[in-house]
Amino acid sequence: MNAQIAPIAPPAAATIRGADALLRALEAEGVDLIFGYPGGAIMPVYDALVDSNIRHILVRHEQGAALAANGYARHSGKVGVCLATSGPGATNLVTGIADAFLDSVPMVAITGQVATSLMGTDAFQEVDIFGITLPIVKHSYIVRRAEEIADIVHEAFRIAREGRPGPVLIDLPKDVANAALEWRPSTLPPPPAPPPVDRAALHRAIALIESSQRPVLYTGYGVGLSEAEEALRRFARATGIPVVSTLKGLGGIPTDDPQFLGMLGMHGSRAANLAVQESDLLIVVGARFDDRATGKLAEFAPGAKVLHLDADAAEVSKLRYANVHLVGRLPELLPQLHCRTDIATWQAYCAELRAKAQPRYDAPGDFIYAPALLRELSQRLPEGGVIACDVGQHQMWVAQHCIHRAINRHLTSGGLGTMGFGLPAAMGVKLGSPQTEVVCVSGDGSIMMNIQELATLRRYGVAVKIVLLDNSALGMVRQWQELFFAERYSEVDLSDNPDFAELARAFGIEAMGIERRDQVQAGLDALFKAQGPFLLHVRIDPRANVWPLVPPNSANHQLIDPEADAAVRSAALDPAAPASIGGLTANGGEE
């Protein structure tokens, strides 16, 4: 007679398991969706999920779980939750946790752990995920007693949301998940109220704005995190101050607004970079002077004073001294800046910069011109639609050429630059907001990083539309090797790519391939008409580069753009042009 494994006895009626307590605590925080992958140490939680109202999405790789939770959180404003087992399950979450940390995304990552009696013994699938993730989380917990679960979960969600958001790790040993306890909801007190606004600093800020002649609003992702878009737009309209944005701040001011000069930085617009370099005051709202935005920091906006508004005091004067700073919630700070400005000459100059820097979409050649395709894609995207982007040349083209009208409708991996971000992030958005049209723009390098999530799209019928730009290369690396490494191309050739349309069909997803300009309209029609997930495989010129570009260790006015319109160049060099406001000519050189 075969021996049978006796099932684990359920707890007494008056008690529940730690795993059940975890699910109850998550439900109390309003969690309705979790992304995860099961395994040995986390199995008690998966058993508890059977009786929970929380919907679980089975991804095909734990990195996909973390990035899907990331996308869900960015668009919804809620805390994203991902779940994995110990060992490789936990370590596969690390890239997604780091991405959330660098991009200030509220997320709680829950990992199974070996039993407490085995911790530190090199047990099967044991890793110190607490130690591994210490530099990339806001806070970490190892749950030692089941009775602590409700309070730990409640505190973890508060920490993930408050101030500058970010990820929190909860490591749950298997014996604690199986331990019996009497359920009690969290009794932790609410956090203290934030300190009042510094009135003296507020008066100094107003005086600084009113005395400036060439102010620029430099806006970042903090605007979206604090839901300050409307407050920012009211302030911009009231003052008439020109606006620039970081990559992740795009949409804080609609990018087709006449006051918006463009994205600043390495691949920023000529108008944005020149205006910032010539400004006498930077009003920094929810941004952090990232190196990709500032270029050579010592030469960034050399004549400008800084007024810095941010929820995170640690960012103030970290990289650039702030003459005045205001720390707090941006929707409360901005309306208190009642300012009068008299900057008509500066406004006219910036408007001229903007007009001269408008991109053209009539590029020569037979290849599909990616910027033109992406511009039309964004124009056809329904109101409220979302573009989730991967990392590479296509990421910069999306930033430069798509129309962005809200920060949480443009999802991209900024701080970590995670290839493979786009598909799972788009999936997270769509699962959290089923009525929203969600497009993932990816590249032939990035798509292969998490292509297994096509199976997740198919399983749950997640109607994400994928636009895959295929240049048969790791395009951004190839561009840098062309420009800065004497065309010594090393390990960037992807000419042996599969037919991605056929690959998508193998996953059960409708697909189409295009390679000529006269096929673009039919391709976009098919993309938007599809009822379920769809992949549009777009072959583009392998030699196409992203312009403008600020070379490494250069100031932002030293940008290069060999494709710039000749008329713009000649007008910029005209001595009669009003380009001497800040001592720089409009082509980026010094007078």
Burial call 148-174: b when 16+ CB within 10 Å, e when fewer: bbbbbbbbbbbbbbebbbbbbbbbbbb
Show contacts of 310-315: CB within 8 Å, 24+ apart.
Answer: 310/222, 310/284, 310/285, 310/286, 311/163, 311/164, 311/222, 311/225, 311/226, 311/286, 312/163, 312/164, 312/222, 314/164, 315/164, 315/288, 315/289
CA–CA separation, 141 and 134 (whole Å): 10
Can you tell me which residue has the tokens 């899907």?
68
How many other CB atoms are there within 10 angstroms of residue 317's CB atom?
14
Annotated catalytic residue, options 263, 419, 449, 476: 476
Q: Which of 227, 269, 94 has its CA nearest to residue 169?
A: 94
Distances (CA, A) of 507 to 45, 455, 456, 470, 496: 29, 6, 9, 19, 20
CA–CA separation, 23 and 38 (whole Å): 15
| Helix (H) / strand (E) containing 176 | helix 174-178
| Amino acid letter, 589 | G
Q: Is 318 a catalytic residue?
A: no
Q: Is 62 a catalytic residue?
A: yes
- Name the β-bridge partners of 493: 473
DSSP-derived secondary structure letter, 531: S
Annotated catalytic residue, options 78, 138, 174, 430: 174
DSSP-derived secondary structure letter, 66: H
CA–chain centroid gap for 439, Å, is: 15
Cα-only R_g, the chain: 25
DSSP 365-413: SSSB-HHHHHHHHHHHSPTT-EEEE-SSHHHHHHHHHS----GGGEE--
Annotated catalytic residue, options 62, 126, 155, 229: 62
| Amino acid letter, 108 | V
Q: Is 125 a catalytic residue?
A: yes
Q: Is 278 a catalytic residue?
A: no
Annotated catalytic residue, options 125, 336, 347, 519: 125
- Name the β-bridge partners of 252: none
| 418 touches 67 (CB < 8 A) | yes
In a 3-state reduction of DSSP, which class is residue 308?
strand
In a 3-state reduction of DSSP, which class is residue 210?
helix
Question: What residue ranges in 510-563 does DSSP mark as E strands?
Answer: 510-514, 534-539
Q: Is 174 a catalytic residue?
A: yes
Task: Kindly list the catalytic residues.
Answer: 62, 124-125, 174, 476
